[in-house]
Amino acid sequence: MDQVRNTLSRFVNDRQIAGCSVRIMKDDEVCFEGSFGYADIEKKIRMSENTIFPIASMSKVITVVGIMRLYEQGLFKLWDPVSEFLPGFKNPKIAVEKEDGKCEIADARGEVTMRQLFTMTSGVPYAGKDTAAARIRMEKEKETQASFFIEGGKIPGTREICDMVGQLPLAFEPGERWMYGFSIDILGGVIEALTGRTLGDYLKETVFDPLGMSDTGFFVPDEKQDRIATLYRIHDAMTPDRREYPREKPVFESGGGGLFSTVRDYSRFAQMLLHGGTLDGVRILGRKTVDLISMDHLTPEQQATHNWDTQRGYGYGLGVRVMTHPEIADINGSVGEWGWDGAFGNWFCVDPKENLTCVYLTTNLPGDHYRFIPKLMASMYASL
């Protein structure tokens, strides 16, 4: 794996990233493990296998595994309307963009289904400026935050927030196209509705503890705070972004982006997926359930809008990318490789054909995945 070492060293030595921690396993053996650069440049704290990272959207795959355990228990079907579990999703509306820049609120033709949440075809947006629905969501969040902090209102929990989001307009008709958004967070709210547990407690009991993921969760206790890697604005002279992270259980636990983990913890999670839901004699999911998660679920119409640079050559399964055409991706990898990434440059893959997993954790703002990940993949696959 000299190519991998050289590639990662170059990322750091050329000051393209502050640092990273990587673990590659093949045939159940660690074939590469290394930490490069700094978890905190100013404090001269080196990256290590014990560094804790905010993993952002790599949280999504863990939430998917958690809720698919409930699928296996027969507690829901993929085509069930979400409103069966979160009443706020009943009778959905759509924010229709007009040519004059305004929008019209119209009744949706159908309800959002569980399947559409998993496949990011629900139309549930993140707050932002991209669509009328995203702008409405952003304004609603501002109003809600004001009621918390100015009027002294009670901060809503995960299930309550997800139910509130369900009452806001969608960006398009459910199932019409692919759009990355708040969908997996909604699945976290469904977990709470089905189990009566908080999302964090449920995932700890059913995923983290059984797999020995002792440094993974929605908060980092005081005694571990000094192990958290600092985020760096990589296009702004590697400027640190020093933010406060929760030290105790948060009221809202974001199943779409709120978890912290280490390279070894997440590697155990990835190995469980590689082995069809089982690791070290502990079964988290059934083999056929993992197969269902990791196959392409998009229709041709939905695939047409699944058009990020990082998704070239990939389809989309249940919360994960799925390699379908390496020749379009320009990656020397395998058909069937799958996984996901996170906003801060983090990335992982499961490759059943090569019996391989890779976890790459870093601290980039922005993530710039397309700048780094194809180079890492090229070096990794060239080493096999």
Residues contacting 159, CB < 8 A, separation 6+:
86, 189, 192, 193
Model pTM? 0.97
Q: Report domain extents, the chain.
A: 2-59+198-382, 71-195
Q: What is the pLDDT of the chain when averaged over all its residues?
A: 96
Q: What is the per-residue pLDDT across 15-24, written as a single tens digit (0 to 9) for each?
A: 999 999 999 9
Q: What is the per-residue pLDDT across 227-285, written as a single tens digit (0 to 9) for each?
A: 999 999 999 999 999 999 999 999 999 999 999 999 999 999 999 999 999 999 999 99
Pick the CATH number of 2-59+198-382 from 2.60.40.420, 3.20.20.140, 3.10.129.10, 3.40.710.10: 3.40.710.10
Question: Residue 10: what pLDDT?
Answer: 98
pLDDT at 100 over 90: no
CA gap 356, 254 in Å, rounded? 29
Q: What is the per-residue pLDDT across 158-191, written as a single tens digit (0 to 9) for each?
A: 999 999 999 999 999 999 999 999 999 999 999 9
Question: Residue 46: what pLDDT?
Answer: 98
Higher pLDDT, 220 or 100: 220
Burial code (b: 16+ CB inside 10 Å, e: under 16) for 142-180 equals: eeeeeeeeeeeeeeebbbbbbbbbbebbbbbbbbbbbbe
